[in-house]
Structure 1
Amino acid sequence: MIDWKINPSFNRLVAELGKFPGVGKKTATRLALFVLRQPDAEAEALAEAIREMKARTRFCSICFHYTEDDPCPVCTDPARDAELLCVVQEPQDLMAVERSRSYRGRYHVLHGALSPLDGIGPAQLKIAELMARLADGSVREVLLATNFSVEGEATAHYLASLIRPLGIRVSRLAHGIPMGSDLEYVDDATVNRAVEGRQTI
């Protein structure tokens, strides 16, 4: 049996890969071995892709999705319905709604959900920025697409209580999405039905 203690660089790569969501030590080891077997040019291309993404990617100053151009392509797309705003917890949730191809409005990414036990309150989310976007009266409907978890539901109800007094329609994704599920893992057809069946809350 090979003693990998003599190969600290391999162990370091396994440890770094193991930080990825859903990647345990065995999977991290397999990935590290895969990288090790690749030609130097392939390994360098992977490292360069990571460096380039980190260097060039930032938040859109309007919707707070990840982008290389600020504002992002969605916020600057004239074909989008600027009167309809979809609020999601995370960037991957925005991607899930986009994959459904049933929504043509714009977005706002909160970067989390209310969770007092974890020390996450309104100040830790992009809620103040959301309310600033709504202040000019150009949005007629806000679609709350937070996850159907305890935290997601609490966030949706909190946002609804802030938005309703502005005279803006507040809707919620229909419950075609299972309770306790994260939007990024739901299939496209289910997300499509949920968007089409949204309800005022």
Structure 2
Amino acid sequence: MIIGVLNQKGGVGKTTLSINLAAIFSRNGARVLLIDADPQGSALDWAAARNEEPLFSVIGLPRATIHKEINQIAKGYDYVIIDSPPRVTDLARSAIMASDLILIPVQPSPYDIWAADEIIKLINEALIYKQNLKSAFVINRKILNTAIGRDVREALEVYSVPSFKASITQRVIFAESAAQGKAVCEIDEKSLATKEIKAVVKEIMEFLK
């Protein structure tokens, strides 16, 4: 299973979501590969900051040939997660064509909702060639007890892509864990952040059935 985490808008938390999803899949017993397709290399930086044994493999592949190489690269892995860059359209197209499922992290702000149009257009282009491609929004960096946090799912209904019920709240533990090269589940297995990531993983599994 190949999951692309994409949004043409920057700063929506693609790397944080990718890393923490990979960690839960790995903790569940799966063999996981995280592909850092962002020229900035944030996931590679995260892996380099880690002192413990790796939970999963991380490689850098910031080039628009992912879809051509993915069958070879993915051999032996149960899940491959592609952390994609913003604004690099050829690379984004390649990541989409390589994926079975596209997760679109979106922050609860009008700007993010409007900007989602760009990635939806790329997905619709890919559907011409890859009719079984699935996609879904994941509300990320939600601020608790705000109207926009509650209303964002309704606002996203203008698109033909469903939104997951599970969402991720903005929490300090995400930054604290990243600085140590760890996932939130390693910092605190019982934290609300870990529960939210697990809920997204559960919904991915249900969505793919």
Using structure 1 for the length normalisation, give the TM-score: 0.38
Between 1 and 2, higher relative CO (CA 8 Å, sep ≥ 6) is seen in: 2
Using structure 2 for the length normalisation, give the TM-score: 0.37
Larger radius of gyration: 1
